[in-house]
Structure 1
Amino acid sequence: MNRAARAAQYAALACYLVFLAFPLFWLLGTAFKPPQELGAADPAWLPERPTLDNFRAAFAQQPLLRSALNSLLVASSAASLSVLLAVPAAYALARRRSLTGRLATGWILVSQMFPFVLVVLPLFLLLRQVRMIDSPAGLVLVYVVWNLPFALWMLRGYVTAVPVALEEAAATDGCGRLRTLVSVVLPLLAPGVVATVMFSFITAWNEFFFALVLLKSPSRQTMSVVLTRFLGDEGAADLGPLAAAALLATLPSLVFFALLQRRLVTGALAGAVKG
């Protein structure tokens, strides 16, 4: 590849990064602007007089800390259960090539096409029958069911990339199927497991529709629902506190990704077949 083509690639990548970072940059600037700058006819990109008043107002108006803890509990529980169920199921789908497995894989793809509105009423009626409306456990169950198809599809590809020779060698040494999965296959799936955990956590953390319908008590609502309270009865937004609260709601996802992204690029499989 010549230098011109490489420079064009880097330029396109830089433009894409600017495009992705612009909403966060705008949100950051808005969160620190005083009301006078927010109401200006031609507001500047950066706050001329940064202030923390918007953050103080956001915490005073809404229970952000409690809603953040609710979101953290729901998102972490949903991510953990999704991975716990998806790993053995993905292993079975990848290793047992049969008509049932192909039909299951097709159903996984079809299930991702269902819109939220199509399933929310049956879910509400079902959860009401088992007394799980207005319960974080019911919301976690919904998120697990909703995330599981994609988690299965993602992990199935990682399992397929693991050489069968490693499992045959483990079987020769006397390992059973479960021991092989836990001791041989699972360590090699670390990047896939991390990616699945990240996807499940961020999806559950940001989800709004199911949380709005299934959680009624203000003390149990997640942060995505609490953010809507910064909108007035006529749709007018309290822009400063809303931007501050939205920025706080964005930070956990960024921190979570920063902590786990290194595992995504770990070449765990690269040295597995050496020797």
Structure 2
Amino acid sequence: MNGVTAVRARRATGRAGQYLALLCYLVFLAFPLVWLVSTAFKSPRELGSVDPTWIPREPGLDNFRAAFDAQPLLGSALNSLLVAGSAALIAVTLAVPAAYAMVRYRSRVTTAATGWILVSQMFPFVLVIIPLFMVLKNLHLINSLAGLTAVYVVWNLPFSLWMLQGYVKAVPYSLEEAAAVDGAGRLRTLVSVVFPLLTPGLVATLMFSFVTAWNEFFFALVLLKSPENQTMSVILTHFIGDEGAADLGPLAAASVLATLPSLVFFALLQRRLVNGMLAGAVKG
């Protein structure tokens, strides 16, 4: 009995240690966001105080009003939403059939393509920006949301392919064989059997592509010049002066607004992700 009690005690201690580590990790992740929100609601006098506090003493919306008055936040948010949403949808739409073909039809070409996908992710942005700029200039896509969307599609496509390959491999080929025995054609099998089981992968890849495009800064800074075409990530830099002094209150307020679309997008798709995982488990 003493031995069983000791084992249970060790398990309880280990579980408590795991929960403590998870709690510390959550605090580490939440600290910047909590401090950002707190700063956004503080008054200018409180921001200049030498005794900062977590909870604003005089919370208000002055920083949000100043941010909207200083920069076209609504227009830039719509630009980011249009570019990020379009790029994510196009990249995933192109990646799904490509990932399926690379998994189900193995050859030297698909093996080389998989290697190239991994290698392409190692390229730094600076290495490709000059030839990319010249190509887009010849296509008259500089200072264009369509050109930036095309860049994001190309940049997200390799990782989307690599990510979806793992989900395609997890779908048993026996399900496709059973569908073929029942008389289903290739297209019917893909639509009715394979794609529903790929829902978790599609949602996860879509979220990654959207967040990556939404937060991207370097390409948007170089390729977009007109203020009416600039995205949210570029507009945020306008709250920093020429000498590096930041207008902290409006900058924090604008940054809070910039984080909301990603959080809303994740919240909307999270249920689809969980339901897809459960459906895949049942069907598999």
Normalised by the size of structure 2, how large is the TM-score?
0.94
Report 1:196-235 matches (<5 A): 196-235=205-244
Q: What's 2:281 paired with?
A: 270
Q: What's 1:250 paired with?
A: 259
Q: What's 1:18 paired with?
A: 27
For 1:104, give the aligned amino acid: A
Q: Does 1:240 align with 2:234?
A: no
Give me the whole-angstrom Cα distance separating, in 2, the residues matched to 1:81 and 1:196: 12
SS at match of 2:280: coil
For 1:2, give the aligned amino acid: R
Give me the whole-angstrom Cα distance separating, in 1, the residues matched to 2:136 and 2:171: 39
The sequence identity of aligned pairs, in percent, is 73
Give, in angstroms, the shift of residue 103 of structure 1: 0.9
Q: Does 1:145 align with 2:154?
A: yes
- Per mean C-alpha deviation after superposition, the further-off stretch among 178-187 and 264-273 is 264-273
Q: What's 1:99 paired with?
A: 108
Give me the whole-angstrom Cα distance separating, in 1, the residues matched to 2:99 and 2:236: 36
Give, in angstroms, the shift of residue 97 of structure 1: 1.6
Q: Does 1:78 align with 2:93?
A: no
SS at match of 1:2: helix
Give me the whole-angstrom Cα distance separating, in 2, the residues matched to 1:150 and 1:176: 30
RMSD of aligned residue pairs (Cα, Å): 1.0
How many residue pairs were aligned?
273
Give me the whole-angstrom Cα distance separating, in 2, the residues matched to 1:63 and 1:137: 20
For 1:179, give the aligned amino acid: R
SS at match of 1:269: helix
Q: What's 1:65 paired with?
A: 74
Larger Rg over CA atoms:
2
For structure 1, which runs of at least 5 residues remain unmatched after alignment?
none
SS at match of 2:135: helix
Name the one with the larger helix percent. Answer: 2
Give, in angstroms, the shift of residue 180 of structure 1: 1.8
Give me the whole-angstrom Cα distance separating, in 2, the residues matched to 1:133 and 1:179: 41
For 2:279, give the aligned amino acid: A
Deviation digits for residues 204-239 of structure 1, max 9, x if unmatched?
A: 000000001111111010000000000111110000
Q: Which runs of 4+ in 1 moved over 6 A?
A: none
Q: What's 2:143 paired with?
A: 134
Give, in angstroms, the shift of residue 268 of structure 1: 2.1
Give, in angstroms, the shift of residue 152 of structure 1: 0.5
Q: Does 1:125 align with 2:134?
A: yes
Deviation digits for residues 57-94 of structure 1, max 9, x if unmatched?
A: 00000000000000000000000001100000000111
SS at match of 2:270: helix
For 2:139, give the aligned amino acid: V
Give me the whole-angstrom Cα distance separating, in 1, the residues matched to 2:272 and 2:60: 37
Give me the whole-angstrom Cα distance separating, in 2, the residues matched to 1:129 and 1:82: 23
Give me the whole-angstrom Cα distance separating, in 2, the residues matched to 1:3 and 1:162: 37
Give me the whole-angstrom Cα distance separating, in 1, the residues matched to 2:81 and 2:140: 23
Give me the whole-angstrom Cα distance separating, in 2, the residues matched to 1:236 and 1:179: 60
SS at match of 1:15: helix
SS at match of 1:267: helix
SS at match of 2:49: coil
For 1:62, give the aligned amino acid: Q
Give me the whole-angstrom Cα distance separating, in 1, the residues matched to 2:129 and 2:177: 45
Give, in angstroms, the shift of residue 179 of structure 1: 2.5
